[in-house]
Amino acid sequence: MNRDLVKGEYPVTTIEDKLRIEEWNVTGIDRDLRPLKLDVMGWGRNSFEWSNYILGNDDWLTIDLRVYYALLTIELIYYPILAIVAVPVNIITIIILSRGKCGLSRGVTRYLAAMAVADLLGVFLDLIFRQIPIVYRDQFTFLMAIPVCNIHAVLLYAATDCSVWFTVTFTFDRFVAISCQKLKAKYCTERTGTVVLGTVTVVSCSKNIIWYFMLSGDYILLNNPWFCWERYGIRFSSEWAVIELLHYLFTPLVPFVLILLLNALTIRHVLVASRARRRLRRPCNGETTKDPEMENRRKSLILLLVISGNFIVLWTFFTVNFVWARLWFFLSLPLSMLPPWSVQELGFMFQQLSCCTNTALYVVTQTKFREQVKDMVKSPFSTIIKCIPK
């Protein structure tokens, strides 16, 4: 297949034609030259069939391809279980935070609740309505007859942007609260948090409307960054290249840099301030006393680091794959330097995991949140016990 066929001069008459062209668009490789991809395109996801790819002795089965097929097999169980866990976990988090009984300020509670709502939307729009239909493609082929993929893409990318940038705004709020005492009283308020979160939501939704016009309503049902067919002539246009670059710069590259920078500045400030306060508060008789101010800063720092650190860790594979793939494409690097398939698949798997890990982090780090979870779990059983006649 030559590139002219990809640009639209080839008559696309069947889904199989589309799949073949999409494979070339994404990887630059004709799938007819890679027999292992034929099964993926047909998507006969059977663990017994795939064991031949994972454990086979064929010379063309590299370590990367074996890992890739192993990950595809794991996804058959991983994504449904993750969806079953993520939906109730995020709902419980939203309910607990909305009660305001976790010992957190209203501003912090507002940020955490917004992050939980965005994560819940991500679970539905990405995990349930995108990833699960992809791994169970044979059971969801009916989606190809429902032309709403571009609307789905707009909502999904807007929810993802909100989730990521809510984390950035929370990180900045904690940076101000810990490091900028003069600005803290004015900025770290519930009203400011509401304005910031509302602004991020509006910008994220407005920014991603462009995908409605760039993508078509037809689903591909393949685990590529773009899960919709592009409109005619879009893939190789300069407009596509610019918009795709800006999209990934906005999420997640810039948030990555900002979170790392803000965390570094916050940690530096806490270390310098703690040394200075220890010198000033050192008792003459040698006894140690607790410093309430530093204790509050320590708790805020722990909450900040576990949330932002969770984002950094779980988005690393996705970000690395993006940077690598874009450099390969724009610099016309040789095929041998194409990003491994396993890196892309791990990126999607860890990105999905990030939608339900914050609750576990709150349980581990926040005593009052943990107590609220216990109360919610006990509540149904307590009601049942009360209804039983003695």
pLDDT tens digits along 98-156:
988 888 889 999 999 999 999 999 999 999 999 999 989 888 989 988 999 999 999 99
Worst-scoring range by mean pLDDT, 11-15, 152-156, 184-188, 258-262?
A: 11-15
List of domains in the chain: 78-387 (1.20.1070.10)
What mean pLDDT comes out for the span 168-193? Answer: 92
22-79 tens-digit pLDDT: 444 444 443 333 333 334 433 344 455 566 666 666 666 778 888 888 888 899 999 9
Write down the mean pLDDT value for the chain: 80
- Do residues 153 and 219 make contact, with C-beta atoms less than 8 angstroms apart? no
User: Nearest CA to 301 among 273, 267, 277, 274?
Assistant: 267
Within its chain, how far is the Cα of 173 from the centroid?
21
195-244 tens-digit pLDDT: 999 999 999 999 999 999 999 999 988 876 678 988 887 877 878 878 88
Query: What percentage of residues in the chain have a pLDDT greater than 70?
Result: 78
Say whether pLDDT at 177 is over 70: yes
**DSSP symbol at 169:** H
What are the φ and ψ backbone dihedral angles of 215, each rounded to 5 degrees? -105, 155
> Helix or strand or coil: residue 46?
coil
pTM score = 0.81
Distance (Å, whole) CA 23 – CA 15: 12
- Do residues 346 and 320 make contact, with C-beta atoms less than 8 angstroms apart? no
Distance (Å, whole) CA 79 – CA 345: 12
Distance (Å, whole) CA 351 – CA 30: 28
- Do residues 176 and 183 make contact, with C-beta atoms less than 8 angstroms apart? yes
Distance (Å, whole) CA 122 – CA 156: 7
The number of residues in the chain equals 390
| CA distances from residue 177 to 110, 174, 202, 309, 372 in whole angstroms, order as listed | 15, 5, 25, 18, 25
pLDDT score, position 26? 43
> How confident is residue 327, by pLDDT bands cut at 50, 70 and 90?
confident
Within its chain, how far is the Cα of 235 from the centroid?
24
Residue partners of 38: CB distance under 8 A and separation at least 6: 31
> Two tokens at 191?
């009203």
Distance (Å, whole) CA 170 – CA 164: 10
Taking residue 205's Cβ as centre, other Cβ atoms within 10 Å add up to 16
- Do residues 97 and 113 make contact, with C-beta atoms less than 8 angstroms apart? yes
Say whether pLDDT at 383 is over 80: no
Higher pLDDT, 370 or 156: 156
Distance (Å, whole) CA 268 – CA 152: 42
Surface-to-core class of residue 116, CB atoms within 10 Å of its CB (0-12 exposed, 13-18 middle, 19+ buried): buried
Look up tokens 């009203």; give the residue.
191
> How confident is residue 282, by pLDDT bands cut at 50, 70 and 90?
low
Residue partners of 13: CB distance under 8 A and separation at least 6: none
- Do residues 223 and 72 make contact, with C-beta atoms less than 8 angstroms apart? no
pLDDT score, position 264? 92
331-360 tens-digit pLDDT: 777 877 888 888 888 999 999 999 888 888
> Helix or strand or coil: residue 346?
helix
Distance (Å, whole) CA 138 – CA 143: 10
Q: Cα-atom radius of gyration of the chain, to the nearest Å?
A: 24
> Two tokens at 220?
């591909």
Distance (Å, whole) CA 123 – CA 352: 7
